[in-house]
Chains A and B, each alone.
Chain A
């Protein structure tokens, strides 16, 4: 293994190793101090930033197009292999750099922001797991491996949304986000399996699997489903404002920077497949434009800073989607890098937004000119009201999804439940039957006791 390959491997594995170390120690009863967590995070991500910069420099200097790190097969059955291969190229390295820089910054910011919070250690442990998942997505050499990182990022996102788990709101929101993630993840999972089915490989380390015609369309649309879910694109954009229940630093890195752009990365990676299918490319462009319009309209009607920023964020990601659908590569990458940095700063400053607003006003010597006022003159009164209603219900997307999928599914589930319980009352209770246990008054629980 060359020094370049070893460095790439170390960069990807380091966050996972820290996560494993801290979690096992915690399970064994250790309570890490705030200082130990923040210092470890700071040192490790500073080193990783240097390492990624060195990788990029060496890649440019050597004239290589990419670094591939084959790690053998994770498991092999008959003629099916799960190859473990990491890839560092002009697409993955900017994302790796963005991840290590922002995770390091968020680690330092959170040292003050979450000081003495009961979940301080949990936040840092999850931050490392998230970083590991993100590094895995951005350095994976196959779609199978991308799925691994994809699920880790989704899980940490959900666990951080329910960070303040002693309130019902964040927990409800986390469950909702988890449902959207799981539903949309079916896309990338099935796409990877179909690639094996159609092209006998999902690895792109040595070139993208060749798909054409209908196969490319199916795989492209499935990847779009997952990308739209992860990047909160239409029609799944309803989860993003709910995700703002998490702590501000996690909102910044997930929904301002890394996680929300993971969908765009997936499409960039799969761009050769998308370009084989006009239908898939058109769907990507349409999704992006619709999201950009929806984000712009809804964002203007939001009453709180973080939700407003969330919609601004998904509007920009919508534009990025449209750029990817048009076949551009460099512009979307530059757009993502710039957007991620600006949005992270805005999210981190969100708790001080009023203060900043007044400072800007004072510096400008008076009130700033409002933007978008011209819309009032362009659109007739009736249309304005209609757009306003659309905006305050966030495009009716949650309502539509709920009526189309959630309500019928729950109704079917309850119906099957009733069918399953037919004849149940004829049976007798068992040794441990909760139905025959003495009932407690509503709202009162029996006092617990350790039975040892």
Chain B
């Protein structure tokens, strides 16, 4: 197994952690510390991605701590996308959202997320999983009780699974992901708890409501980053499928149906939802459920589509939540769809960013999501021809909900009493333009990212299609 040239994963964790320490102590420089920390993590992630590509998709371990961190086609993209999104959010966040406490905690969540993505050890992954959830369970990003309960349940389920695996493995290194592959340690109990952790963290029905509450009552930008970590999908691809291939093969048809049901459920819910933040949260739930359905389709098209869709959903919803937050700050209150507000007159560019990001989330041709939706629908149709037809239905309803929200906020007769609402300022424009350019450019030339994700998808689909052979290999 080859090594990374430098301890890049450790650096991508350490730099934001150090920046968080600076941000906590210096309110005036919190934003600068945040940008520097996220940029450092992004640069390390870029180098990781480059080295993984150079190694033709081989697994690369950290030079100083083998068994702790490793990079491969599955996590290299996740690392880069998450670091860049955090940097973008810190740059464009309104002043009131860049206090020392918020920025410092956001950087800690970034460090934890990088550790979870880079972990080559189940215990380390679980610790990072819990660390990223803590700000939303104990503060400072707490909302109503349901997000706390949902996240606590996911953490407890994961820790419980680890306890069972440790008891069953009885090897020198019971948590090494490479050593666990295909052994089915802990059997159905461990597998079941891992699935509970995924269902709770991803917001699969019936554990979906916490995401709505977190988006409505919590600080919207950190919540957006948190849910866009797609830890549920990552745990499924990184741990559940490789370690429990036989259980996964048996359970996935049911789980896939549940994910598709969630996609449709959230889409139906969003149709009449009046609160803008809740509507966006429901769209994220619906699209995240589509990702899980793709992963569980066991087809290479569906899995590749799911892995690409993680990136699409993360980027597009970050754009949407960002514009929404910027509009809320300008308008002075959160939005509902009770009235038309006609704000496009004041903020035409923010309106364009919103509609492009929104339509990019639901498969607009020419954007990256067209490619991911195409693959997802092919994959789910191939594995579940009857229920796979629900995916286009859910996407169509999501598109309607998004356009309705866009119309209500940006179009229609202007409300009296709205003055001084300005369009995107320079730092907001740069970040949002970068998001739009990425969505469109990747949509025009998707092959580079598709081929990278296809490598990871091929491994996952091989495990699902030939689980016994994989056990023998390890």
Contact = CB atoms under 8 A, between A and B. Distances in A.
Interface of A: 27, 73-78, 80, 82, 144, 147-149, 151-152, 155, 158, 162, 165-168, 171, 174-175, 178-179, 182-183, 185-186, 189-190, 193-194, 196-197, 409-410, 412-414, 416-417, 420, 423-424, 426-435, 437, 440, 443-452
Which one of A171, A194, A437 has the greatest number of beta carbons of chain B within 10 Å?
A171
Given A424-B213, A431-B140, A452 B420 contact: no
Contacts of A427: 143-146, 213, 217
Contact of B412 (A165, A431, A437): A165
Given A168-B340, A450-B330, 17 more contacts: A27-B349, A27-B436, A76-B447, A80-B301, A165-B344, A175-B404, A190-B392, A413-B271, A430-B217, A431-B142, A433-B143, A433-B216, A434-B275, A434-B333, A444-B417, A448-B420, A449-B420
B364 interface: yes
B425 A182 contact: no
Contacts of B340: 168, 171
A193 B305 CA distance: 14
A264 B407 CA distance: 30
B371 interface: yes
Interface residues of B, number: 93
Which one of A186, A412, A449, A450 has the greatest number of beta carbons of chain B within 10 Å?
A450
Nearest to A187: B392
A77 B403 contact: no
A430 B304 contact: no
A189 B392 contact: yes
Contacts of A155: 359, 364
A434 B218 CA distance: 9
Contacts of B56: none
Given A152-B365, A413-B272, A450-B422, A182 B374 contact: no
A47 B411 CA distance: 36
A449 B450 contact: no
Nearest to B143: A430
Nearest to B303: A77
B385 to A, nearest CB: 7
B82 interface: no
Contacts, number: 213
Nearest to A174: B407
Contacts of B418: 445, 447-448
Contact of B217 (A80, A149, A178, A435): A435
Contacts of A182: 396-397, 399-400
A430 B268 CA distance: 27
A372 to B, nearest CB: 39
A124 B14 CA distance: 50
Given A78-B300, A447-B417, A416 B217 contact: no
8 contacts: A75-B450, A80-B378, A168-B340, A197-B382, A420-B208, A420-B269, A435-B217, A448-B421
A426 B143 CA distance: 11
Contacts of B331: 445-446, 448
A417 B216 contact: no
Closest 3 CB pairs of A and B: A427-B144, A446-B332, A148-B365
Interface in B357-376: 359, 363-366, 370-371, 374-375
Nearest to A450: B422
A168 B330 contact: no
Interface in B371-403: 371, 374-375, 377-378, 381-382, 385, 389, 392-393, 396-397, 399-400, 403
A445 B421 CA distance: 12
B413 interface: yes
B27 interface: no
A436 to B, nearest CB: 9
Nearest to B94: A451
Nearest to A158: B403
Nearest to B415: A445
A179 B144 contact: no
A27 B352 contact: yes
Interface in B271-290: 271-273, 275, 277
B454 interface: yes
Contacts of A433: 143, 216-217
A78 to B, nearest CB: 4
A427 B212 CA distance: 13
A89 B415 CA distance: 52
A144 B422 CA distance: 41
Contacts of B425: 450, 452
B329 interface: yes
A42 to B, nearest CB: 26
Which one of B219, B269, B419 has the greatest number of beta carbons of chain A within 10 Å?
B269
Given A171-B412, A452-B94, A417 B272 contact: yes
B53 interface: no
B268 A416 contact: yes
Contacts of B411: 162, 165, 171, 174
Contacts of A423: 145-146
B417 A445 contact: yes
A5 B4 CA distance: 47
A85 B217 CA distance: 49
Contact of A445 (B96, B216, B305, B332): B332
A75 B329 contact: no
Given A78-B454, A149-B365, A428-B145, A168 B333 contact: no
Nearest to B454: A77
Contacts of A183: 396
A423 B407 CA distance: 31
Contacts of B415: 443, 445
B300 A77 contact: yes
Nearest to B305: A77
A178 B403 contact: yes
A433 B143 CA distance: 8
Contacts of B474: none
Nearest to A406: B271
